[in-house]
């Protein structure tokens, strides 16, 4: 397949309006937005008008019947049912995070795409940030890596998006809202059966909705962890410790809902060098990610610190261009469905270690995650 792709957008909410639709229009030489779908008539009609989309649907099942090349699944909830059906229809799929709610669902998605010979890609935009690629280069210069620190200070979203002309639909009908809640609950049951209320809440609202980004970026930088030594879930945050050989990775996420200063850092520490990648809010277009490098000399007071801006290219736009290249060129996505199964496995593992208070070897292995959830 070559040239311009006819795509359908399923889900016209915040991330579709702030990022995907905007950059699909900028990449009009590669994408044609042929159809949009949302349960909200107001949201889908507004997006169709804004982006000149000829077709709009209330049902994703109806959209999948149209002559398309690919679909973008940008809805809330699990993306497994739509992704599986889209693959069966012969359509390539890009799903926003999380790809699904459980490893079991993820296996279904990967199997469906493999059987159909279609691309399944997960939208982890940080992996396509030019500064992230620079950090990969710098990491290779670190000898005797001793610590990786991943810190996320979560902040309110509203201040970061209020300057966009967002089209919001009204509240969902009570029956539909209840059906969606029950579906979410049932899928969480599959992932972490018999979990306590705090674990269920944290799995759905912290791990799948936010920290899955950090887990994927960690794996992209370091590979699969040898073990998960510790995990603690709280109403206001999460702390975890992973082992990578001689190096530890300390992951900390905390909710700070008053201060509109989102902060996410990847910091690498070795005796001779310290390297930190600092991400801006993901809702600000083309804000650069900063790379900070600190050096010194043995037995000397000399030290230096440099801050680098690698590029103003937007990671979401780079992600879309990569998806086009994979579909048209037969490439495997950097964030493929098969690779992203490891992130869902880590989410399940973090809950398991929090509950058991025991370390877990090879926590990102999807086969192990599936085995952990089998009835004893």
Query: 336 lies in a domain?
Result: no
pLDDT, mean of residues 62-77: 97
Percent of the chain with pLDDT over 70: 97
Residue 51 lies in a domain: yes
Q: Are residues 91 and 213 in the same domain?
A: no
Residues 213, 105 within the same domain: no
Let me know whether 24 and 108 are in one domain: yes
In a domain, 43, yes or no: yes
**Percent above pLDDT 90 for the chain:** 93
The mean pLDDT of 44-54, rounded to a whole number, is 97
Average pLDDT of the segment spanning 315-338? 97
β-bridge partners, 243: 227, 248
| 254: its two tokens | 């905390």
Average pLDDT of 196-208?
A: 97
> Domain check: are 177 and 310 in the same one?
yes
More confidently predicted of 130 and 3? 130
* CATH code of the domain containing 148: 3.30.360.10
| 56-61: average pLDDT | 97
Considering only CA atoms, which of 117, 115, 357 is closest in space to residue 228?
357
Cα 252–chain centre separation = 17
Read off the pLDDT band of 376 (50, 70, 90): very low
Look at residue 333 and tell me if it is in a domain: no
Same domain, 50 and 187: no
DSSP character string of 309-325: E-----HHHHHHHHHHH
DSSP state letters, 25-59: HHTTTTEEEEEEE-S-HHHHHHHHHHHT-SEEES-
Residue 191 has which token pair?
Answer: 């992932």
* DSSP 8-state class, residue 63: H
- Measure the CA–CA gap between 271 and 222, rounded to whole angstroms: 18
Residues 214, 89 within the same domain: no
Same domain as 205, residue 111: no
- Residues 21, 149, single domain; the answer is no
Question: What pLDDT digit, counting tens, does each position of 8-35 carry?
Answer: 999 999 999 999 999 999 999 999 999 9
Domain of 363, in residue numbers? 127-316+341-372
- Same domain membership, residue 36 and residue 131: no
Q: Exposure string (b/e) for 240-267, b if CB count within 10 Å is 16 or more?
A: bbbbbeebbbbbbbebbeeeeebbbbbb
Rounded to an integer, the average pLDDT of 317-322 is: 98
**CB-CB neighbours of 163 under 10 Å:** 9
Q: What is the mean pLDDT of residues 314-322?
A: 98
**What contacts 24+ positions apart, CB below 8 Å, involve 269-272?**
269/145, 269/146, 269/147, 269/148, 269/149, 270/142, 270/143, 270/144, 270/145, 270/146, 271/143, 271/144, 271/146, 272/142, 272/143, 272/144, 272/296, 272/298
Q: Are 216 and 208 in contact (CB under 8 A)?
A: no
| pLDDT of 208 | 97
Whether 99 is in a domain gets the answer yes
Number of domains the chain contains: 2
The CATH number covering residue 84 comes to: 3.40.50.720
Residues 307 and 259 in one domain: yes
Burial class (CB in 10 A: 0-12, 13-18, 19+), 239: middle
pLDDT above 50: residue 375? no
Is 184 domain-assigned? Answer: yes
Q: Mark whether 75 and 222 lie in a shared domain.
A: no
**Has residue 334 been placed in a domain?**
no
Same domain, 364 and 252: yes
């Amino acid at each position: 397949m070559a040239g311009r792709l006819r795509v359908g957008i399923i889900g016209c909410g915040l991330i579709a309006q702030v990022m995907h639709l905007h950059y699909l229009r900028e990449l009009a030489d590669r994408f044609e937005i042929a159809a949009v779908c949302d349960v909200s008539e107001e949201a889908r009609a507004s997006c169709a008008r804004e982006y000149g989309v000829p077709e709009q649907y209330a049902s994703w099942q109806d959209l999948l019947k149209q002559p398309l090349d690919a679909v973008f699944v940008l809805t809330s909830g699990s993306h497994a049912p739509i992704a599986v059906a889209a693959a069966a229809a012969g359509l390539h799929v890009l799903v926003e995070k999380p790809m699904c709610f459980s490893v079991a669902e993820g296996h279904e998605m990967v199997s469906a795409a493999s059987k159909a010979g279609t691309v399944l890609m997960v939208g982890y935009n940080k992996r396509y940030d030019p500064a992230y690629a620079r950090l990969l280069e710098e990491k290779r210069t670190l000898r005797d890596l001793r610590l990786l620190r991943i810190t996320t200070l979560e902040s309110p979203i509203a201040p970061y998006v209020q300057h966009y002309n967002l089209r919001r639909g009204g509240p969902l009908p009570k029956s539909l809202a209840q059906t969606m809640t029950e579906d979410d609950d049932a899928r969480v049951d599959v992932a972490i059966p018999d979990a306590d209320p705090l674990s269920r809440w944290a799995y759905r609202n912290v791990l799948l909705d936010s920290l899955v980004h950090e887990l994927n970026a960690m794996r992209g930088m370091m590979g699969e962890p040898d073990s998960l030594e510790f995990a603690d879930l709280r109403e206001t945050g999460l702390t975890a410790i992973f082992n990578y050989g001689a190096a530890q990775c300390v992951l900390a996420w905390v909710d700070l809902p008053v201060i509109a200063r989102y902060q996410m850092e990847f910091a690498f520490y070795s005796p001779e060098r310290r390297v930190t990648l600092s991400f801006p809010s993901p809702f600000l277009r083309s804000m650069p990610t900063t790379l900070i490098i600190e050096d010194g000399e043995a037995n000397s007071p000399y030290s230096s610190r440099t801050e680098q801006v690698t590029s103003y290219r937007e990671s979401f736009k780079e992600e879309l261009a990569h998806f086009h290249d994979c579909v048209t060129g037969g490439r495997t996505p950097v964030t493929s469905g098969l690779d992203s199964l490891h992130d869902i496995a880590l989410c399940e593992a973090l809950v398991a270690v929090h509950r058991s208070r025991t370390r877990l070897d090879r926590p990102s292995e999807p086969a192990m995650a599936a085995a952990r959830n089998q009835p004893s």
